[in-house]
Each structure stands twice: as structure tokens, then as C-alpha cells.
Structure 1
Amino acid sequence: MPISPNFTSIYEQEFELSFLNCYPNGLLKYTDLCNFIQIVAGNHADLGGISYSDMQTKNQAWVVSRMRLEIAKLPKWRDKVVVKTWIKTLENSRSIRCVEFYLNEEKIIGCETFWVVINTKTRKPDSLVLPHNHFEKFKSDATQKNTDKITIGSDLNVVGNKKVLFSDLDVVNHANNVKYLEWCLDFENPKNLLLSKVKAFDMNFMRELNLNDEAEISKSSIENESVFTISKEDKIAYALKIEWK
């Protein structure tokens, strides 16, 4: 699609939380929080002419490689949140996008995401072909720490297994990144999630998982920190670090 006349380099969108977005305590699910980030990033890309549909004309797509979320507090059912996003850097096949959540004009969540362009035929990184200079780049940070590679120790213990089902797939025909988080959180203590004890998430996405793939979920814990990995055939596809309050 052509660049929308409504395009701006900083994009904002309001969401009203429904009960479908919330845990039994009425607070926003961490997985739905990540879904909102995907939606806002996608809508901004649509307006700027670098959407999935635009990029598919060149056999390209954006995939998220790393993500960091810092959470001061979670909004609740019926709250209206404003989500703001901008691009920090965009060069060749890589881009850093920042996202912030506001409730009653108070910033409650910050997120930094690191994206990579892949060729959807070769499934390898590819330099972005479409024009993007109309996106102004902003050096402002949304988080106190930047996205980074997670250090994975040797004290991981297998906690479960997962087979990728059709319902896990997204438009790029692989398990959507939010599914990895969902699978890991299912092996956390629900009380910690319901009491909103998560201070921050770091996520690394290393390999795709596809329909019918069999994956192994492992976990290690130290004080105020949990690390999960999801592996296929002894190769890590995803890593998650949770910082607890």
C-alpha cells in the first residue's frame, strides 16, 4: 500500500481492555500486552508502507528477534490505555522499535524490540528493499535497559514439552512469538503472575518453530530471576528471563 496521508513517525493507538484481555484478577495478561505491541507495530508499519503485505511483494517480512519489557504496573479490565511507538534505528535488515503504554497520561510500561527482515522463501535475513527514509528515527529510549542476549546457565531443568499446533501459527507460518511466552508462563507459579510480581521480561527469539515441531521447555531459578528456554533437538529456539519484584 502507498504511504498513508495519516502517517506520522510517532504513532499512538488507544485500546480499551476487555475481559478477554485479562487474568482472573482483572489485570491485563502479559501475553495480551505483547499482542498489543505487535498490533501497534503492525499498524504503524501499515501506515508507513512497510507492512507485511507490502513486504510480501518482495518476499520479505519482519520478525522480532529480541524484546525487553519493563512494567511499573498493569492496567485492568475496562481501562483505556494509549500505546505509543516510534522507530529508534532502521538499517539494512535490522530495526529497533520502542513502545510505551500510558494510563491516564502516566507511563506504566516501556518496551524495546529488535526486529529483523527475513526473506520468506529462504527464511534468512535480508536487507529491507522498500523505502523507509520517511520514518524519522528517534534516539529516545522506552526502557532503562536495552534489549540484550540472555545468559543461559547450565542449571536448567526440563519442566515440560510442547507440540506446535495449528492454533499457534501466525501469518508468517511459524509459531507466533507470544506463544513462546504463553507456554513458559504456564509453568510459573500463578500466584506470582496474579500478584503482578513481574518487574521485567527479556526475550530472545533464535529459531523458528513450525507446525508439528516437538519442543522441550526448561527452567532455572535464582533469587528474583527465572530463566526459561524452549528447545528443539537440543537447539534453543527461545529464551525468556523474568525479573521479579
Structure 2
Amino acid sequence: MPIALNFTSVFSKDWEINFTQCMPNGYLKYTDLCNMLQLTAAAHSDMGGISFSDMQEFNQAWVLSKMRVEITELPKWRDIVTVTTWVNTLEKSRSVRALEMYVNGTKIIGSTTFWAVFNTERRRPEALALPYEHIELYPQRKPTQESFSKIIINPEKEVVFEKVVYLSDLDIVNHVNNVKYLEWCLDHVDEKSILNEKLNSFEMNFMKELSLKDTVVIHENFSEESTIFSITKEDKTCYALQLNWK
């Protein structure tokens, strides 16, 4: 698609929270929150001429490498939320994108995301083949109080679950969708902590892609301040998640 005539480097989109996206307490699921943020980023990319369809002409796609989310409060069923996004940095094969969520003009969530350009045939990173000079960058406009951190995986972690990757776990890039990793881990968190909205922030690192029929092991290490999950395949870490509690 060509660059939209009404393209702007700062983009906003409204969403209504529906009941399928909510937990039993009526508040937005953390997985659906991540989906909504990424769908907004995708809509902005569509307008800017660097969408999945545009990139597939060169066998390329954006894949998420890191994501940090800071939460003041969650939106609830029937809320109209506004998600605003812009690009902090964009060079060659990588980009940092900012996202913020508002309800009635009040910011409730901020997220910093790190993306890599991925060749979907070679299954490796490479430089973006499309022009992007029309996108204005805002390196000083930060959506989160903290930037990415290194998630430290304790070697004494506990094995909590073993899983086989099914077709329902895959996305259009033909690997496990990034939100699926989060879903797998949250299923092993005490439900009271989730339903009582004790989560202050969380951060995810994606290290190796997972494919259909891969067998993975989910590990957990718990403390009062945070819970760290890691997912391994053949003893190699593919994903790490840090949940920071209030």
C-alpha cells in the first residue's frame, strides 16, 4: 500500500473494550492489552507504507524483540480507550516504538517496544527494504518511566509446565505469536494477584522463535517483588518474562 495521504508520525486509534477481552473482574486481560497495542502499531505501519503486506514483497516482517508495559490502571468492559503511538528510533533492521493508552484523556498505560526486521524465508534479521525517511522520529518522547532492562534468569528456577506448540499458537509469520508466550506464563500465576490488579509492570524478551510441534518447558522463579518466567527448548532459553508486583 502507498503511504496514506493523511499519514502522520504520531497516530491515535480508539478501541471499545468488549466482553471477550475481559477477565472475570470485568477488566481488560493483559494479553488483550498487548494485542490492542500491537494492532495500533500495525495500523500506523499500514498508513506509513511499511505494513506486513508491503514488507512481504521483500519476504520481510516486523517481529517483536522486547516489550515493557507500565500500568497505572486497566480499562474495563465498555470503556473507550485511545491508543497513541509514535516511533522513537528507526534504523536499518530495528526500531523502538512507543505506545500510550488513555481513558477520558487520562494516561493509564505506557509501553516501549523493540522491533526487528525479519526475513520470513531465511528466518533471520536483515535491513528494512522499504523507505522510511518520511517518518518523523521522537527519541526524547518516552512512554514509560523505565527503559528495557536485562531479565536475570535464576538457575534455580522451578519447572512448572511442559507444552507442545499447536497450530492455534502460530501467527501469520508462521511462528508462535508473542502474546501466546505471555498467556502460557500468566496461566501459572496466582489468580488473586491477577484479578486484584497487583501487576505494576511487566517486561518480555523474545530470543528464539518457536514453531509448530516444538516441545517447550516453562520455568518460574518467584519473589515478593517480581516473578520471572522463562521458556526453553532443548535447554536453550527462547523467552523471558518479568512480572513486577505492587
**TM-score (normalised: structure 2):** 0.98
- 1:39 is matched with 39
- 1:157 is matched with 158
State the Cα distance separating 1:149 from its structure 2 match.
2.6
The CA distance in 2 between the partners of 1:164 and 1:25, in whole Å, is 29
- 1:173 is matched with 174
1:94 counterpart = 2:122: no
- 2:17 is matched with 17
1:214 counterpart = 2:237: no
- 1:128 is matched with 128
State the Cα distance separating 1:174 from its structure 2 match.
0.5
What CA deviation, in whole Å up to 9, does each residue of 1:184-229 have, x standing for no partner? Answer: 0000001100000000001000010111111100000112100000
Instruction: Give the count of matched residue pairs.
Output: 245
The CA distance in 1 between the partners of 2:28 and 2:228, in whole Å, is 22
State the Cα distance separating 1:148 from its structure 2 match.
2.8
Q: Which amino acid aligns with 2:109?
A: I
What is the percent sequence identity of the aligned residues?
54
1:27-66 equivalences under 5 Å are 27-66=27-66
Q: Which amino acid aligns with 1:212?
A: K
Q: Which amino acid aligns with 1:61?
A: A
- 2:104 is matched with 104
The CA distance in 1 between the partners of 2:150 and 2:90, in whole Å, is 19
Ranges in structure 2 where 5+ consecutive residues have no aligned partner: none
**Runs of 4+ with deviation above 3 angstroms:** none
The CA distance in 2 between the partners of 1:75 and 1:44, in whole Å, is 22
CA RMSD of aligned residues (A): 0.6
The CA distance in 2 between the partners of 1:33 and 1:238, in whole Å, is 19
What CA deviation, in whole Å up to 9, does each residue of 1:138-161 have, x standing for no partner? Answer: 120000111233111212100001
The CA distance in 1 between the partners of 2:162 and 2:4, in whole Å, is 44
Q: Which amino acid aligns with 2:77?
A: W
